[in-house]
Amino acid sequence: MSEEKKNMPRSTVLTFLPVVMVVLILSSCVNSRKTVYFNDQLDAVIKSNNIPAKNVVQPNDILSIAVTSLNPDATELFNKPNNSFVSSTSTNGLNLQSPGYLVNDLGTIQFPVLGEMKISGLTTNELRVRLTNELKTRKLLVDPIVIVRQLNFKVSVLGEVARPTVVNVPSEKISLLEALGLAGDITIYGKKDNVMVIREEEGVKTIKRLDLNSSDIFSSPYYYLKSNDIVYVEANKAKVAGSTRSTQLLPIILSALSFGAIIIDRIVR
């Protein structure tokens, strides 16, 4: 075999290898700016001008209403309904029993002595003030103290996060960033510049898309979430493309070609 014939395969392999390397490099390129939160934010002190969203009572809410006063015997009557149990379903399908007042479809509850009360549209603080005034005005209790809490305050986090979940919020206050953190953060395949918040109030759904690459999120009215908000993180093109069979096989094929090229180059030397 002549020297020229021996060199031809090696020449072909050496020509092919750079092409393989370029394809591998291009397939692994990622825009790192899109994976970073607030990449335009320098050191700063930011005054918060977006107060937590005002959460109002809605039908199907479960409320805990606790009443105390100087007369424990008289007060007991107003706390008995909190010992009743309302059925609800957990995220794993189990049936749970939560003590409290269930707001019906008409937005009302039955409160002892005071009777049926329309409370939908009120905040928990406004309801507290209303109950306190009613008890005082009707002279049912002396110096009553009323505490109202929403027991089923929750937000759902779905899509490209480490642990899609329903987050229960006993403090009735949670930010978008806290909710994402409790869901394990956005994965490398999630679009941080296009996070969707779905909010329903009085039968009207509002959809807002937020850019977490920008520091503008700190002043957004959607920075703080409301009860029953849904946060959805969309998958980026890399994840969508990687879900197809042909793209899943591409790295394997390229690796096999590279390995084969190396073997051929060794043989023809």
CB atoms within 10 A of CB 78: 23
Tokens read off for 144: 């009553």
pLDDT at 1 over 50: no
The residues facing 240 across adjacent strands are: none
Range of lowest pLDDT (75-84, 148-157, 226-235): 75-84
The whole-number average pLDDT for the span 209-237 is 91
Per domain, the residue ranges of the chain are 3-30+245-268, 33-51+153-235, 62-150
96 HSE (CA, 13 A, CB side): 12
How many whole angstroms separate alpha carbon 198 and alpha carbon 172?
18
Domain 33-51+153-235 indexed as CATH 3.10.560.10 = yes
Neighbours of 42 (CB within 10 A): 6
- The rounded mean pLDDT for the chain is 78
How many CA atoms lie within 13 Å of 128's alpha carbon, on the beta-carbon side?
Answer: 14
CATH fold of the domain at 62-150 = wza like fold (3.30.1950)
Select the more confidently predicted residue: 92 or 39: 39
The secondary structure element, H or E, covering residue 150 is strand 145-150
pTM assigned to the model: 0.68
Positive or negative CA dihedral for 128, 134, 136, 137? positive
pLDDT for position 166 = 95
The percent of residues above 90 in pLDDT, for the chain, comes to 48
How far apart CA 84 and CA 173 sit, in angstroms, is 26
